[in-house]
Amino acid sequence: AALKGELRSQVSAALKEGRVTPTELCQRCLALIKSTKFLNAYITVAEETALKQAEESEERYIRGQPLGILDGIPIAVKDNFNTAGIETTCASNMLKGYISPYNATVVQKLLDHGAVLLGKTNLDEFAMGSGSTDGVFGPVRNPWSYSKQYKEKSVAKSHSEDKESNWVITGGSSGGSAAAVSSFTCFAALGSDTGGSTRNPAAHCGVVGLKPTYGLISRHGLIPLVNSMDVPGILTRCVDDAAVLLGSLAGHDPKDSTTIQDDFKPFELPNLNDVSKLSIGIPKEYHAPGLSSEILALWSKAADLFKNAGAKVVEVSLPHTPYSIVCYHVLCTAEVASNMARFDGLEYGHRSDMKDSTESMYAATRREGFNDVVRGRILSGNYFLLKQNYEKYFVKAQKVRRLIANDFVKVFRSGVDILLTPTTLSDAAPYTEFIQEDNRTRSAQDDILTQAANMAGLPAINVPTALSERGLPVGLQFIGRSFQEKQLLTVAKWFEKQVQFPVIQLEEIKRHDNDVFQHQKSTSFS
């Protein structure tokens, strides 16, 4: 049993009724962060400012003027969002010690809603990776590695091996945020999602991970990976919470010209009673090479669930999906090469001591500041952008991207409301196993089911579905129509209710457990 973080119905009510104060909430989270330090989920814990924000929130509650559901709610933010006064590192030597003078729009919005910013979460360097293993601050450990569920099913079997080597990765690149939400050290976290970086770790850590439609949430202040695909992601413990966060973050931002012009109306999710009018598409191409039989079984079970409830479930085809990865690789590295050009050591960030010439200073700064993954992508991106290669690679990749986007348009036009797919090929790999392959190979494999949604700019969400045979979380992904977040989340909420994903059983959480919140018995879906 643990805290069930339903912001709207539980935490917010408890705060309003004074059953718990923002300061107590904040302190409990800070204590939990300390006791789960071994997860390496946080790069920076902003204890002082968090407590101050909690105090201010508390005063608002005392005056009876809270700013809304998020007032006093402890949240965490991936360390590639700018936070004024708190270090923003991108888990890179390049930005170690960098303190931004401004808040990202999403951070500012959360603060404006009274949220308490606990700290900055770990990631792959500049969000380039799918394991949260390639940051300068070391890998993030999946909280489920230490859960009763995993220990019982998995660790017991591998009696010969040393316990330490059994921990599994979080997925990435927003692994720190996923781990933070999953281990109850915060109620919600911001991630970023370029090719699956929010949904992938959400799946591995058993939390909800929402990638909104491109343009719905401002990117201003998010240190970019691929501008044309990046979106701030939302990680929460339930679909309802994701809707609350979305409501406070979405809408036009004059500082980001790619955001929608119209205002966004926050919504509450209805409880779906009847799914018979829904048409769920099962894209056959997502039956990708390497998909574990366990996940495949879970996927069909989920499809049956909809069918049995009266929904129309149809197999659909997104024929250009297989080209997605290579196309993504070209577009991603090209933009990376361009976006990383600003890190030259002059205005901010790391600067090498090399003083022979400006050029040698640039070269040394960038060699010392970036890891191999980042440098590799810069190199290939610049190659694709060379005059003689531009047409051959970049322009072609853009065309393929259009075809991929059109695949979705056609399917949705055919009457399908939501697509149901797996989020990952398998459950989380043990770290020792994961690092056998290089970042490039891993990213190509791990993004395969998620990044087409980024190519097309569509909203997609990971919903934790069940535990694998090894006792690790497995999630399924729903992909919706552009700007139809409400429909997407409504269906996701219905599904979430059906599957009753189990709560993580973690010693550390138990110790901090508090009877303020109702204990919830969980039944497993698998």
Partner 1 sequence: MAARGCGGVWRRARQCGAGRPGPGLGPFPRGQRAVACNAKGGAVPAGKSGLAPWIPVVGLEIHAQISSNSKLFSGSQVQFAAPPNSLVSFFDASLPGTLPVLNRRCVEAAVMTGLALNCSINKKSLFDRKHYFYADLPAGYQITQQRVPIAVNGSLSYSLCIDNKMSQMVTKTVRIKQIQLEQDSGKSLHDDTRCQTLVDLNRAGVGLMEVVMEPDMCCGEEAAAAVRELQLILQTLGSSQAVMAEGQLRVDANVSVHHPGEPYGVRTEVKNINSIRFLAKAVDYEIQRQIEELENGGTILNETRAFDFKLGCTVPMRDKEGKQDYRFMPEPNLPPLILYDAKSLPANMNHQQVINIDWIQERLPDLPSVKREKLVEQYGILPEHSFTLLNEDGLAEFFESVVKQTQMKPKKVIGWILNDLLSYLKQHSLTVKESPVTSFLLADLLNLLEEKKISSTAAKQVLAELWKGEGKTPLEIVKEQKLELLQDQKELEQICQAVIDGQENE
Cα separation of 501 and 198, whole Å? 19
Question: Whole-number minimum distance, CB 133 to partner 1, in Å?
Answer: 23
* Binding footprint of partner 1, residue count (CB under 8 A): 45
Element (H, E) at 279: strand 279-283
Element (H, E) at 465: strand 460-467
Is residue 347 a contact point for partner 1 (CB under 8 A)?
yes
- Pull the structure tokens for residue 515: 């009877």
Please give the backbone phi and psi of residue 204, each rounded to the nearest 5 degrees, phi first.
-70, -25
Question: Whole-number minimum distance, CB 118 to partner 1, in Å?
Answer: 20
Which residue, 267 or 348, is less far from partner 1 as judged by CB? 348
Binding residue (CB under 8 A) for partner 1 from 348, 396, 403, 526: 348
CB atoms within 10 A of CB 291: 17
Question: Whole-number minimum distance, CB 483 to partner 1, in Å?
Answer: 16
Q: Which residues partner with 193 through β-bridges? A: 231
Residues 67-106 that bind partner 1 (CB under 8 A): 81-82, 88, 90, 95, 100-102, 104
Side-chain half-sphere exposure of 464, counting CA atoms within 13 A: 27
Binding residue (CB under 8 A) for partner 1 from 386, 399, 409, 518: 386
Question: Whole-number minimum distance, CB 358 to partner 1, in Å?
Answer: 6
Residues 152-211 that bind partner 1 (CB under 8 A): none
Which residue, 80 or 445, is less far from partner 1 as judged by CB? 80
Q: Which amino acid is at 42?
A: Y
Side by side, which strands form the sheet with 116-121? Answer: 42-45, 116-121, 74-78, 188-193, 231-236, 208-211, 460-467, 473-479, 418-422, 279-283, 312-316
Is residue 368 a contact point for partner 1 (CB under 8 A)?
no
Binding residue (CB under 8 A) for partner 1 from 9, 165, 227, 524: 227
Is residue 228 a contact point for partner 1 (CB under 8 A)?
yes
Contact present, 324 and 458 (Cβ < 8 Å): no
Q: Which residues carry out catalysis? A: 78, 173, 197
Q: x/- site string to partner 1, residues 394 to 433, per CB under 8 A?
A: x---------------------------------------
Contact present, 234 and 209 (Cβ < 8 Å): yes
Which residue, 226 or 246, is less far from partner 1 as judged by CB? 226
Is residue 24 a contact point for partner 1 (CB under 8 A)?
no
Cα separation of 207 and 201, whole Å? 8
Contact present, 375 and 125 (Cβ < 8 Å): no
Question: Whole-number minimum distance, CB 356 to partner 1, in Å?
Answer: 10
Is residue 221 a contact point for partner 1 (CB under 8 A)?
yes
Size of the chain in residues: 526
Q: Running DSSP on this structure, what letter comes out for residue 264?
A: -
Binding site for partner 1 (CB under 8 A): 81-82, 88, 90, 95, 100-102, 104, 219-224, 226-228, 254-258, 334-335, 337-338, 340-344, 346-348, 355, 358-359, 362, 382, 385-387, 390, 394
